[in-house]
Amino acid sequence: KNQVEQSPQSLIILEGKNCTLQCNYTVSPFSNLRWYKQDTGRGPVSLTIMTFSENTKSNGRYTATLDADTKQSSLHITASQLSDSASYICVVRGMDSSYKLIFGSGTRLLVRP
């Protein structure tokens, strides 16, 4: 079973609308959770990183939330732009490794004009 599950698998929204992407993880013990944005044909780029003690973190129009008790995270995108079209990947690091990351399979977001 994948230790990091994301939903939905894909999403289409109109430009200017908001959306929320979900991530559930079973990695335990847990150290930190990251959200990455991956444009087509590019490597992932870090958006946010949160430790277990943080509940929310923002990066411009991106806001990530974390509930370490329920092992859930969300990424909220406000006032979407065409350039937000990409895959958004939830990534978790457990306590057992300082470097090994566990990746979700991503949510593919398409923003239409």
Partner 1 sequence: GAGVSQSPSNKVTEKGKDVELRCDPISGHTALYWYRQSLGQGLEFLIYFQGNSAPDKSGLPSDRFSAERTGGSVSTLTIQRTQQEDSAVYLCASSYRGGGLETQYFGPGTRLLVL
Binding site for partner 1 (CB under 8 A): 2, 4, 31-32, 41-46, 49, 51, 89, 93, 97-106
For 59, the token pair is 């990066």
Least distance from partner 1 to the Cβ atom of residue 100, Å? 6
Which has the closest alpha carbon to 104: 26, 11, 12?
Answer: 26
Least distance from partner 1 to the Cβ atom of residue 10, Å? 11
| Closer Cβ to partner 1, 43 or 60, answer by number | 43
Distance (Å, whole) CA 71 – CA 38? 23
| Closer Cβ to partner 1, 80 or 92, answer by number | 92
Least distance from partner 1 to the Cβ atom of residue 70, Å? 21
Please enumerate in sequence order all residues whose Cβ is within 8 A of that of 53, keeping only pairs 6 or more positions apart, or say none.
Answer: 68
Distance (Å, whole) CA 59 – CA 30? 22
Longest dimension (CA), the chain: 44
User: φ, ψ for residue 17 (rounded to 5)?
Assistant: -80, 160
| Closer Cβ to partner 1, 18 or 105, answer by number | 105
| Closer Cβ to partner 1, 41 or 113, answer by number | 41
Least distance from partner 1 to the Cβ atom of residue 68, Å? 16
